[in-house]
Amino acid sequence: MSGKRGNGEGSIYPYKNGHAAYVWVTKPDGKRARKYVYGKTREEVHDKWIKLHAEAKQGPVATRHRTLATFLTYWLASIVKPNLAPLTYVSYEGSVRLYIAPHLGAKRLDKLTVRDVREWLTKLAGICQCCAQGKDAKRAPSRQRCCAVGECCEAYPSRRVIQAARDALRAALTHAVAEEEIGKNVASLVKVPKPRRRRIKPWSVVEAGKFLADGVARDDRLFAAWVLVLCLGLRRGEVLGLTWESVGFDAGELYVDHQIQRAGRQILHRETKTEESDDVLPLPALCLKALRMHRAQQQGDRKAAGQQWQDTRGLIFTTKYGTPIEPGNLTRMFALRTRRAGLRVIPLRNTRHTCSSLLVALGVHPKVAQRILRHSQIAMTMEVYAEASEEEVREAVRKLSEAMGGG
């Protein structure tokens, strides 16, 4: 009985210590090929055979499953790089290269389980990345001080890094599900602890005013940038991405639609992250005056640099030679100016919270604050209870400017 074929099962046959079967299927490349299934009993193979027949009728069926590493390489090159932001590609590529592929890359895509992902994340949390990536070994022998000399520095990945690695794997498997290479996304079923965010108290109106006053007294060449950051809540990349075409001196307006980003080894001048981030903001007197002073300063830099000056699309904030300012350098310069002014140091990104707090402290309407900060949802600012007019937006920014000593 075990070697006899059942009615209509012409392709089921004995194989080694069990049975096997095949079905002619159409592969994703359009070619026809046999796909095999195996099992210990005829009944087990018959069920798989029936299921495979159903899959073959629905559409293309892959006859060979890729390893996770092979699929991730395809996903990064064909899906992420041409369709997503450069910074997203850099983030995903780093997670794949450093954390996913070395541990899970050899596994078959269709055989990856929830347990595999959970054990990988648990193991990853206890692996020193200085050892794993050979960071200390790459240094000159005289500078080696930890892993390369047998003293592990215990540079374990943070919760944020582990979450980013899991998110990258989840995004890749989501695409694998969409392409019908796997039936479910096992990475989405594994939870990771959320990284705790340190709450930093934003500057008060007095502290922000003191910072700007110190910048004026020292003739800070980036004074206009600090004014825009504190008065309008502009992000680091948005300030650096502004061009002179974005400024309407006569109308007293600023159009925000571009940003400067560091993506790997490139500095990119590209559109802002979302359409909600683009907006025309009113410029108070303090901002207009600071920008006029900065324009005169830049013209002086251009003359002093001579042929060494590089015109980079009319950027407002540049180095002395006209090149874009490195985003990381702006962060460091802000911290330096803060210590020089005798103030407690807060991250540059927290100036948006400072601006928000200042607007609230000044009694600015929540809807107006949402417009100035360009939040996509009012819940990110506070509860909606009124509409904001253009005049109210201008008045709110004017009040903020006066509180900082720029009336």
More confident residue, 363 or 204: 204
Per-residue three-class SS string for the chain: CCCCCCCCCCCEEEECCEEEEEEEEECCCCCEEEEEEEECCHHHHHHHHHHHHHHHHHCCCCCCCCEHHHHHHHHHHHHHHHHCCHHHHHHHHHHHHHHHHHHHCCCEHHHCCHHHHHHHHHHHCCCCHHHHCCCCCCCCHHHCCCHHHCCCCCCCCCHHHHHHHHHHHHHHHHHHHHCCCCCCCHHHHCCCCCCCCCCCCCCCHHHHHHHHHHHHHCCCCCHHHHHHHHHHCCCHHHHHCCEHHHEECCCCEEEECEEEEEECCEEEEEECCCHHHCEEEECCHHHHHHHHHHHHHHHHHHHHHHHHCCCCCCECCECCCCCECCHHHHHHHHHHHHHHCCCCCCCHHHHHHHHHHHHHHCCCCHHHHHHHHCCCCHHHCCCCCCCCCHHHHHHHHHHHHHHCCCC
Cβ-Cβ contacts under 8 Å for 394 (sequence gap 6 or more): 252, 282, 284
For residues 172 and 185, what is the distance between their CA atoms, to the nearest angstrom? Answer: 9
For the chain, domain boundaries: 12-58, 68-189, 205-403
Note whether 242 and 314 are within 8 A (CB): no
The single-letter code of the amino acid at 402 is: E
297 pLDDT exceeds 70?
yes
Strands 12-15 and 18-26: antiparallel
**Which of 191-195, 294-298, 347-351, 369-373 holds the top average pLDDT?**
294-298
108 pLDDT exceeds 70?
yes
Note whether 256 and 284 are within 8 A (CB): no
Residue 267's pLDDT is 77
Q: Does domain 68-189 have CATH number 3.30.300.30?
A: no
Residue 96's pLDDT is 96
Residue 195's pLDDT is 76
Residue 397's pLDDT is 64
Largest Cα separation within the chain, whole Å, is 98
End-to-end CA distance of the chain: 97
pLDDT band at 281 (very low <50, low <70, confident <90, very high): confident
For residues 312 and 302, what is the distance between their CA atoms, to the nearest angstrom? Answer: 12
Neighbours of 202 (CB within 10 A): 18
pLDDT band at 395 (very low <50, low <70, confident <90, very high): low
For residues 32 and 26, what is the distance between their CA atoms, to the nearest angstrom? Answer: 5
Q: What does the pLDDT look like over 327-384, one tens digit per residue?
A: 899 999 999 999 999 999 998 888 877 777 666 666 666 776 777 776 777 676 654 3
For residues 129 and 230, what is the distance between their CA atoms, to the nearest angstrom? Answer: 37
Q: What number is the average pLDDT over the span 94-110?
A: 93
310 pLDDT exceeds 60?
yes
289 pLDDT exceeds 70?
yes
**Between vectors from CA 248 to CA 247 and to CA 249, what angle results, nearest 5°?**
105
1 pLDDT exceeds 60?
no
Task: Please name the residue that has the structure tokens 């629905």.
Answer: 58
- CATH architecture under which domain 205-403 falls: Orthogonal Bundle (1.10)
